[in-house]
Amino acid sequence: MTLHFHNTLTRRIEPFEPLQTDAVRLYTCGPTVYNFAHIGNFRAYIFEDLLRRTIRHAGYPVMQVMNLTDVDDKTIRGARAAGVPLRDYTRPYIDGFFADIRQLNIEPAEFYPAATDHIPEMIALIGRLCDRGLAYRSDDGSVYFNVAKFPGYGRPASIDLSGLRGGARVAHDEYEKESIGDFAVWKAWDEADGDVAWESPWGRGRPGWHIECSAMSMKYLGETFDIHTGGIDNLFPHHANETAQSEGATGKPFVKTWLHCAHLRINGEKMSKSLGNFFTLRDLLEKGWSGREIRFVLVNGHYRQTLNFTFDALAAARSALARLDAFGDRLAEAAGTTAAAEASCPDWAERGRQAFDAALADDLNLPEALAAVFGMVREGNAALDGGALSAAGAAAVAALLGRCDTVLGVLQFGRAPASAALPADVQAMLAARQTARQARNWAESDRLREALKALGWEIKDTPSGQTCKRL
């Protein structure tokens, strides 16, 4: 299984080959903890999770770093407005972030370095840039990267510096720059920073935006590593600047493969507070949607394509998941206690497995991978209907789907409760209903089904008797 990824650096889909044999080194841009993350952020984190899981699925160990940006304009502004120290301000959002990714079944990374814990590393890196003549100190004590001194500036974005134009978004305190393209690696303290400041060889101040990613990625992953990801909006300037700083300091290639995911839209519109379609994960959970349903919607799109997030899509996800769950329950029932044996795996399932793997390997084509799974669901249901699936075969298919789910992370097999686990009153009603059914007392049978439904249990009648499932 050779993975292929679209590399932003080359704008091509390339075969993926790890640089080192022990692990694939992966740096994924993480949250700025000034607020709870919104659904658009999670699109990126889900994409990164799928990437991580796919690499592992292909047999490579992964060493993933996700940064926590806990010092920047917004966190400082928030902390000052709240009148609390920076750390106290960011803490709940950091906790919230980890709670959220658990809800979405996002696998944890190996490292979550916080920017404020790596100031010395950043200062050291800036020192290297100064030593090499790539950065200069301005009169106010800020340090800027000198873009003109770095040949090939702009990668992995395709930015031509001459196309840049100064505008309203160029921050006020950056007029000391020698050239419009130069960017701060160290920002001299100013009024608005309050008590957020660190001592440095250039005076009191705080790190520039991009330097944390350079310092932390290289600390944990080395000066050249396999994959760096982020949202497409980070391509420029963040990733271009990060590359310039890192390669400027080391003289080595920084990242081999860059992957960028597209944005999310909500009901066809850009997400924004003024449109009222700005949702955090907890907003959606409060509306009654589960993390799993949200994950399904986010998984069922290609990462390089703008995704239209709608409530209809969430409802569709709910139905699709119910279908998957029902199939899982059927397989479990058919398999009983029989162990999975690969030899018993039906041909259609083997074909499904191959289609699934091929789709993943093709630049994370999750929609197609999911289609392969649903193909197996249809085949499997038909086989079960026709009595053509042995217990061992059912076990093998269940195991196969479990394998697919190590990447998808949306299945929930084996959740059908054993009858012994049902509450006594429910068991009694089920027994009564069975008696009524044997007496062909349909009115009583239907009444009990309704009563059980009111208690939160869904009853279905099958040729082999009634089934009971938590709603």
Partner RNA sequence: GGCGCGAUGGCCGAGCGGUUAGGCAGAGGUCUGCAAAACCUCGUACAGCGGUUCAACUCCGCUUCGCGCCUCCA
Question: Binders of RNA: how many residues, by CB under 7 A?
Answer: 89
Contact between residue 8 and residue 21 where contact means Cβ atoms under 8 Å apart? no
| Binder among 232, 285, 391, 432 for RNA (CB under 7 A) | 232
| Binder among 174, 190, 223, 350 for RNA (CB under 7 A) | 174
DSSP 107-175: PPPSB--BGGG-HHHHHHHHHHHHHTTSEEE-TTS-EEE-GGGSTTTTTTS---GGG----TTS-GGGT
Map the footprint of RNA across residues 321-340, applying CB under 7 A. Answer: 323, 326-327
Q: Is 192 in the site for RNA (CB under 7 A)?
A: no
Shorter beta-carbon distance to RNA: residue 59 or 387:
387
Stretch that binds RNA, among 104-112, 262-270, 337-345, 410-418 (CB under 7 A): 262-270
Q: Is 215 in the site for RNA (CB under 7 A)?
A: no
| Binder among 280, 310, 338, 434 for RNA (CB under 7 A) | 310
Each as own residue / partner, the long-range contacts of residues 445-454 (CB below 8 Å, 24 or more positions apart, any chain) are: 452/426
Q: Is 44 in the site for RNA (CB under 7 A)?
A: yes
3-class SS of residue 71: coil
| Binder among 18, 205, 230, 352 for RNA (CB under 7 A) | 230
Please return the burial class of 465, using the count of CB atoms within 10 Å of its CB with bins 0-12, 13-18 and 19+. exposed
Q: How far apart are CA 238 and CA 72, in angstroms?
A: 13
Q: How far apart are CA 121 and CA 88, in angstroms?
A: 23
**Shortest Cβ distance from residue 374 to RNA (Å)?**
4
Shorter beta-carbon distance to RNA: residue 365 or 390:
365
Shorter beta-carbon distance to RNA: residue 181 or 291:
181
> Phi and psi of 193, rounded to 5°?
-80, -15
Q: Is 382 in the site for RNA (CB under 7 A)?
A: yes
Shorter beta-carbon distance to RNA: residue 18 or 100:
100
Shorter beta-carbon distance to RNA: residue 23 or 408:
408
| Binder among 60, 111, 348, 374 for RNA (CB under 7 A) | 374
Q: Is 261 in the site for RNA (CB under 7 A)?
A: yes
Stretch that binds RNA, among 89-97, 167-175, 217-225, 402-410 (CB under 7 A): 167-175
Q: Sign (positive/negative) of CA torsion 127, 129, 132, 138?
A: negative
Map the footprint of RNA across residues 421-450, applying CB under 7 A. Answer: 437, 442-443, 445-446
| Binder among 194, 368, 390, 434 for RNA (CB under 7 A) | 368
| Binder among 15, 151, 152, 167 for RNA (CB under 7 A) | 167
Residue among 167, 170, 205 nearest 185 (CA): 205
**Shortest Cβ distance from residue 22 to RNA (Å)?**
28
**HSE on the CB side for 153, CA within 13 Å?**
22
| Binder among 135, 370, 426, 468 for RNA (CB under 7 A) | 370
Alpha-helical runs (H) found in 227-339: 240-250, 281-286, 291-299, 311-335
Q: How far apart are CA 47 and CA 302, in angstroms?
A: 9
Q: Is 58 in the site for RNA (CB under 7 A)?
A: no
| Binder among 104, 119, 264, 395 for RNA (CB under 7 A) | 264
Q: Is 97 in the site for RNA (CB under 7 A)?
A: no
Stretch that binds RNA, among 41-49, 86-94, 102-110, 397-405 (CB under 7 A): 41-49
> Phi and psi of 412, rounded to 5°?
-145, 65
**Shortest Cβ distance from residue 267 to RNA (Å)?**
8
| Alpha-carbon distances of 101 from 69, 93, 313, 446, 462, rounded to whole Å | 16, 12, 20, 42, 38
